[in-house]
Amino acid sequence: MANDPLFWVAAVACLGVLVILMIGVGGFAKGGEFNRKYANKLMRMRLAAQFIAVLLILAFVLFRNGG
């Protein structure tokens, strides 16, 4: 599994989702101008990144099991 490049791409995508989520939660906790300006944009970015990550995970499972 660790030798499969699709696994690493999916793992990086999941980490990207985590980073976007943490930035959003941090901005929400802090409040202020950053939250007002970027809260919705970060939510949309997280949803798009999460969708891509789920697709990559599904592709990994599909190809790992041989279709």
- Rounded distance between C-alpha atoms, residue 41 and residue 11, angstroms: 23
The pLDDT assigned to 48 comes to 97
Residue 2's pLDDT band, with cuts at 50, 70 and 90, is confident
What does the alpha-carbon distance between residue 23 and residue 16 come to, in Å, rounded to a whole number? Answer: 11
Q: Give the tens place of pLDDT for each residue, 4-40.
A: 999 999 999 999 999 999 999 999 999 899 999 999 9
Q: What is the dihedral of CA 10, 11, 17, 23, to 10 degrees?
A: -150
Look up residue 50 and give its two tokens: 């999460």
Q: Please give the pLDDT value at position 66.
A: 76
